[in-house]
Amino acid sequence: MNIKQCALGSALAASIVSAPLGAQDVDPPFINIGSYAIAFPLGDTHDFVPNTSWFGANWEGQWKYKPKTSVGVSLGLQDFFNQTRGTTTFSTGAVTGQQSRELLLGTLMGIGRYYPGPSLGRGFYAGLGAGGQFAQQYYQLGVTNPLSRSAIHLAIAPEVGVVTPIMEGLDAVFIARFTATTSNGNYLGGGSRNFKFITLGVGMAER
Partner 1 sequence: MAGKFVRLLGATVATMVLMPACYSSDYNNVAPNLPGVVITVVDQGRALASARSFALPDTVVEVPVGSNTISHESDQQIIANVRAHMVGLGWQDVGTNPVAIPDVVLLVAANTRIQTGVFYVDWFGAWGYLPYWGPAVNGGWIWGVPADAVPYAFQAGTILITMLDRRAEDATRQSIPLLWAAGIDGVVTNTASTTERALTGIDQAFAQSPYLRRGGVQLP
Q: Which residues bind partner 1 (CB under 8 A)?
A: 30, 32-36, 51, 54-59, 61, 77, 81, 83-87, 89, 91-98, 141-145, 147, 190, 203-204, 206
Q: Which is nearer to partner 1, 24 or 91 (CB)?
A: 91
Q: Which is nearer to partner 1, 61 or 158 (CB)?
A: 61
The distance of closest approach from Cβ of residue 92 to partner 1 in the complex, given in angstroms and rounded to an integer, is 5
Rg (C-alpha) for the chain, rounded Å, is 19
Q: Which is nearer to partner 1, 90 or 116 (CB)?
A: 90
What is the amino acid identity at position 114? Y
Q: Which is nearer to partner 1, 34 or 132 (CB)?
A: 34
| C-alpha pair distances (Å), 24 with each of 19, 21, 118, 119, 151 | 14, 9, 9, 8, 47
The distance of closest approach from Cβ of residue 139 to partner 1 in the complex, given in angstroms and rounded to an integer, is 9
Query: Among residues 207, 192, 98, 205, which one has the least CA distance to residue 144?
Result: 98
Measured CA angle at 37 (ends 100, 158), to 5 deg: 110
The distance of closest approach from Cβ of residue 116 to partner 1 in the complex, given in angstroms and rounded to an integer, is 26
**Residues 151, 187 contacting (CB under 8 angstroms):** yes
In the three-class reduction of DSSP (H, G, I as helix; E, B as strand; rest coil), residue 179 is classed as: strand
**Residues 149, 134 contacting (CB under 8 angstroms):** no
CA–CA separation, 7 and 150 (whole Å): 30
The distance of closest approach from Cβ of residue 23 to partner 1 in the complex, given in angstroms and rounded to an integer, is 25
CA–CA separation, 47 and 49 (whole Å): 6
Q: Which is nearer to partner 1, 47 or 206 (CB)?
A: 206
The distance of closest approach from Cβ of residue 35 to partner 1 in the complex, given in angstroms and rounded to an integer, is 7
The distance of closest approach from Cβ of residue 60 to partner 1 in the complex, given in angstroms and rounded to an integer, is 10
